[in-house]
């Protein structure tokens, strides 16, 4: 008998040969909670990883969504973020789950996604260094942990805290899309450029929304000499 890391109800694990020999991984959640998650799979935007199956055809061009096309058409941002890959669609249940993690202090719930996160990471790059998106000192003190660091910790690879926030700002979740995209000052800076130079970097964060946070972080890493920057997030 196991206990769901989200609702804490007891449940029996489904048995299969795939699970037994390690060919299949699943979140450590009960069947009901797992059933409320929507995996990102099938045809996706080659840059941001948006799931095209739930995205209107008129908002894409070929293998790219219009959001990414707009980013790439801006010479300041062309090629800054190689690709993002996300595990799940940011639906109502995922929103509840992330709120429980970030705002109600239930850090244990992040462990439910370690097996799937690790599997996705191996598809992107095994020779990259992992860099979690940092919180401001104020936000870190307020929350007691950084959810991006917790996610990165599940990848069983050395995590490098090579970024810090220069400014404390309003929560991204409270900003409109226009406010996120129009911010002029890059909130990040690299703390050790020697470790960044000529490296492939994978940023880790909880949610990809407009892509502005990940691209700002990627930009300072590229400017510090990183070879390329991609990202992996829990939700898109």
CATH label of the domain that carries residue 74: 3.40.50
44, two tokens: 């996706």
93-151: pLDDT as tens digits: 999 999 999 988 889 999 999 988 888 888 887 789 999 999 999 999 888 999 999 99
Instruction: Specify whether 155 is located in the same domain as 129.
Output: yes
10-residue mean pLDDT series, the chain (236 residues): 87 58 63 93 94 86 94 96 96 95 90 88 85 94 93 91 82 57 82 96 96 97 97 96
Question: How many domains does the chain fold into?
Answer: 2
Q: 149: phi > 0 → left, psi -120 to 50 → alpha, else beta; which?
A: alpha
- Kindly report the CA angle at 122 between 193 and 206, in degrees rounded to 5? 65
111 and 85 belong to one structural domain: yes
Q: Does one domain contain both 150 and 166? A: yes
| 71 and 15 in a common domain | no
- In Å, what is the CA distance from 145 to each residue of 20, 108, 116, 236? 33, 11, 22, 22
Which two tokens mark 14?
Answer: 């489904």
User: Does residue 89 share a domain with residue 8?
Assistant: no
Residue 18 sits in the same domain as residue 42:
no
132 and 92 belong to one structural domain? yes
- In sequence order, the β-bridge partners of residue 235 are 88, 207
- Are 1 and 45 in a shared domain? no
Structural domain boundaries, residue 221: 38-235
Phi, psi of 224 (to 5 degrees): -85, 0
Are both 100 and 116 inside the same structural domain? yes
Statement to judge: residues 52 and 144 lie in one domain: yes
Same domain, yes or no: 18 and 116 = no
CA distance 108 to 15: 24
Clarify whether residues 23 and 116 are in a common domain.
Answer: no
Q: What pLDDT is attached to residue 104?
A: 87
What is residue 21's predicted lDDT score, i.e. its pLDDT? 47
């Amino acid at each position: 008998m196991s206990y769901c890391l989200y609702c804490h109800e007891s449940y029996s694990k489904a048995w299969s040969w795939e699970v037994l020999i390690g060919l299949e991984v699943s979140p450590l959640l009960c069947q009901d909670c797992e059933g409320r998650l929507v995996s990102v799979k099938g045809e996706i935007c080659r840059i941001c990883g948006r799931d095209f199956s739930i995205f209107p055809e008129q908002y894409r061009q070929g293998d790219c969504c219009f959001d990414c096309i707009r980013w790439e058409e801006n010479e300041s941002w062309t090629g800054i973020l190689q690709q993002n890959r996300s595990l799940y669609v940011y639906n109502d249940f995922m929103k509840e789950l992330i709120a429980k993690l970030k705002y109600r202090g239930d850090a244990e719930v992040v462990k439910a996604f370690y097996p799937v996160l690790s599997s996705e990471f191996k598809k992107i790059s095994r020779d990259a260094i992992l860099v979690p998106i940092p919180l401001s000192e104020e936000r870190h003190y307020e929350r007691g942990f950084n959810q991006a660091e917790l996610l990165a910790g599940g990848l069983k690879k050395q995590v490098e805290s090579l970024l810090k926030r220069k400014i404390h700002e309003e929560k991204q979740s409270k900003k409109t899309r226009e406010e996120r995209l129009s911010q002029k000052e890059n909130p990040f800076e690299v703390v050790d450029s020697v470790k960044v130079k000529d490296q492939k970097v994978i940023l880790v964060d909880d949610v990809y929304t407009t892509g502005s946070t990940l691209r700002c972080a990627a930009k300072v890493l590229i400017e510090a000499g990183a070879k390329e920057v991609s990202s992996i997030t829990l939700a898109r």
